[in-house]
Amino acid sequence: MGKLRVYIVSYDISDSKRLYRVHKTMKGFGEPVHYSVFRCNLSDKDKIELIAILSEIIKHDEDRIMIIDLGFLDGYVDRRISLIGVHPEEDNNESAIIV
């Protein structure tokens, strides 16, 4: 496994059936931090796989997925994230579990 990078993945899916499939898929790659927003610690291979699976699920002319690269999972990435209000539970798992 290559070095992991941290990604924020958010999505707007116009159909409830596809929304459920995207959400279920995302749970296999990361942890939800908001509704329709996940934090994922992924290798390059994991990212390619995630994009391939999501591309098969969504309708490209109706849905939208945004992937933001926050850099390597090196302890500094959390300094790039600011939260106001309730913080999500801390996840100490540094690897992705793909279902």
Strand partners, 39: 8, 31
**Other Cβ atoms closer than 10 A to 50:** 24
Query: What does the alpha-carbon distance between residue 1 and residue 88 come to, in Å, rounded to a whole number?
Result: 27
Q: Is 12 annotated as a binding residue?
A: yes
Q: Which long-range contacts (CB under 8 A, 24 or more apart) does 73-82 make?
A: 73/3, 73/4, 73/5, 73/6, 73/41, 77/6
The two three-digit tokens of residue 22, written as one number: 């995207």
Binding residues for Mg(2+): 12
Binding residues: 12
